[in-house]
Structure 1
Amino acid sequence: MSINFKKFVPRPGLVNKQGRLPDPAELVCIEVPKVFDQCLIKRCLVYCEGPDTETTDCELRSDPLINPKRYISSRDFKITLLSVDKIPLKKDHGFKKIILNYIISFYADYIDCDGRTKSEFYEINRTDVIGKFYCPDSISQSTTTLEEEPYDNNLIKLEMVADVLHGEILKDDHGDEVLDVTLGYYIVVKCELVVQLLIPAYDYCPVPRVPCKEEPEDDPCEVFEKSPVPKFYPDQNLDPLFNDPENSDKDDLD
């Protein structure tokens, strides 16, 4: 059964059934970064003096603190790629050994003995080596009217999810109170190459017909009056007094 294109309104959305879309209006050529290879770096780092390893980092200790009481949490994680070295592998065409140098920075919040919240800034410099990574060079060379030098459309991209898993206030060898943190993070390393892709398209995305809505400010007392009475106590974590016969029969069969 053919689909009436006039009744079809092209817009972003989920495609949940085959045969619901008409034939595309045209094939278009777009220029986008395409991922040629990717891998995952997973690290759990604790403080330790000396050279950095895969499990330790000497920059995960704060400067001396004044009357700290308790670590709270960490925030504003950021990753900055400083340099990338690509060493071609002679036996594997298109593959390279990648040496990454990057910085992870974040803030750790703690409470001092006077009840004030303070922050300590951390910045750790890391180097990771990927022994074999498919990162082919672009065959063509590109430039734009805004650049004097050729544009490198072969990109190494880092995406990170990080969190401080543990924070502890203790005294160092000099008797100063410091904050040691345990940092856990995931980094996805991607090799991207700007390419031209031929894709089916319907048209330009239409201008939305629905105007932007402004949410009226609610009266807090009216919201409070309409709200249900909250639970005064948490749920109890209790074991059942009697065994469920159905579950007990299944256990006997197991």
Structure 2
Amino acid sequence: MYKQTPSGCGISLYTPGVIPEELREQFGNACELVCVQVPKVYDSCLLRLCLVGDCKEEDRSQGIVFDSDLRFRIDCSAEEIINPRVEGLVPDSFRVISKRPVSGDPDRKLITYTYALRILYDILFDDGTISEDNELILRRTETVGPLYCPESVAIIRETKIDQSGTIRYPKDADDEIIKLEIIARVLDAQVVKENCDTTCPDPYDAYENVCCVVFTVGIYNIIKCELEVQLVIPAFGFCPPPAPCERRPDRTPCEDFNEELPPEFFPPQLDDFITGPGIGF
């Protein structure tokens, strides 16, 4: 009667509504069963990338990958790269290119996607001047999987209207089922004063007195396959109203200062930050 999955879960045997008294304890003393619509993560994976702008450092067996976007020409008066940071994804740069089913298992797919990261950095020149907020765009295309990404049986589309009355149309269906979470940071950025190494694919290698900037960037990608589903869950009622907010009175800087704890006046002792076997002997 009910479609069961290998885990034993499928269509709920319980109908949403008030839980009979004799079953309350079984559901943690919840008062009712409710049907909610939520995005369910069917499968996910973590991709770790260490990208370098020097092809001599590439070692794919260790997860170190050369990316030509991280190596580019710069004026040789540049002395140092300072404050390099990842500012986030370029808006609308994340796209799912393909979902290819694995042979013999159409619900498991190889996911190919693309995205672009915006990196900002400052340049310190040899005359002491600083050029701020220079931009580097790192473009990547990755393939992960196979991930369990079944196709939705129903086609769910909705249109939303914001407060200004503008109609917001839904995104591409693949962008809704495939989600990307990224944590990225610049691990290193160096100015290479000598000519760019001719062993790397650089269009400026044929010129003399060319200097390069070489970046190293670490990226964590989490790819999730999500589908909108309806789940039966126990509920304890509606959430209570939140506690009233406390208004912070206007304060002078001295009032804030006088409430602070005094700083540490001396360097920490060795045993303040070292722990482990052998400590205390």
- TM surpasses 0.5: yes
Secondary structure of 1:55's partner? strand
Which one of 83, 94, 97 corresponds to residue 81 of structure 1? 94
Q: How high is the sequence identity, in percent, across the aligned residues? A: 30
Say whether 1:105 aligns with 2:115. Answer: no
- Whether the 8 Å contact between 1:143 and 1:149 is mirrored in structure 2 is yes
Which one of 131, 145, 152 corresponds to residue 173 of structure 2? 152
Secondary structure of 1:23's partner? coil
How many residues align? The count is: 221
- Whether the 8 Å contact between 1:141 and 1:150 is mirrored in structure 2 is no
Residue 213 of structure 1 is matched in structure 2 by: 246
**Aligned residue identity for 2:105:** D
Q: Would the alpha carbon gap of residues 212 and 110 (structure 1) be closer, same or farther in structure 2, given more than 3 Å must change? A: farther
Residue 104 of structure 2 is matched in structure 1 by: 91
Deviation at 1:83, TM superposition (A): 2.8
CA-to-partner distance for each residue in 1:194-242, whole Å, 9 max, x for gaps? Answer: 111111112222222x32222224322344345455344433659xxxx
Distance 1:202 1:105 in 2: 44
Residue 189 of structure 2 is matched in structure 1 by: 167
Give the alignment's TM-score, normalised by structure 2. 0.65
- Whether the 8 Å contact between 1:142 and 1:151 is mirrored in structure 2 is no
Give the alignment's TM-score, normalised by structure 1. 0.71
Which one of 134, 146, 153 corresponds to residue 120 of structure 1? 134
**Aligned residue identity for 2:66:** T
1:1-254 superposed matches below 5 A = 23-48=29-54, 55-62=65-72, 64-65=74-75, 67-78=78-89, 80-112=93-125, 113-116=127-130, 118-144=132-158, 152=173, 155-171=177-193, 172-173=195-196, 174-208=208-242, 210-225=243-258, 227=260, 229-235=262-268
Q: Please list every run of 5 or more consecutive structure 2 residues that lacks an aligned counterpart in the other structure.
A: 1-24, 161-167, 197-207, 272-277
Distance 1:246 1:135 in 2: 50
Deviation at 1:150, TM superposition (A): 11
Q: Please list every run of 5 or more consecutive structure 1 residues that lacks an aligned counterpart in the other structure.
A: 1-18, 239-244, 249-254
